[in-house]
Amino acid sequence: MTAKVYGIPNCDSVKKAIASLKSNDIEVVFHDFKKHGVPAQLLDEWIDVLGLEKIINRRGTTWRGLDESLQDKARSPEGAKALLLEYPSIIKRPVVELNGELTIGQTDFSKGNS
């Protein structure tokens, strides 16, 4: 079984999720937002499945560091998508694809929690 994990490598939540997946004998393929960006087509799917409110991490330092005018862009779906593509660090992490299911922010993949 393989999981695709999207995030940034120095994020504690991403590290915890990868460790949990590996400890449960799940192979991990990691997609680094910093190096490879956010796949625009996948972002559309994430927005459809999870909703913008779950995807945007409004508590993180990147979000808090954006000017108000940039934060206001997130009020429309088009503006939010553009903002997420430009500033991938405002995406809540990790985003995980496992067994055809998509999760965001989950770090425990032990049996019974996935």
Give me the active site residues, please: 11
Distance CA 37, CA 47 (A): 16
* β-strands 95-98, 27-32 pairing: unpaired
Distance CA 27, CA 59 (A): 30
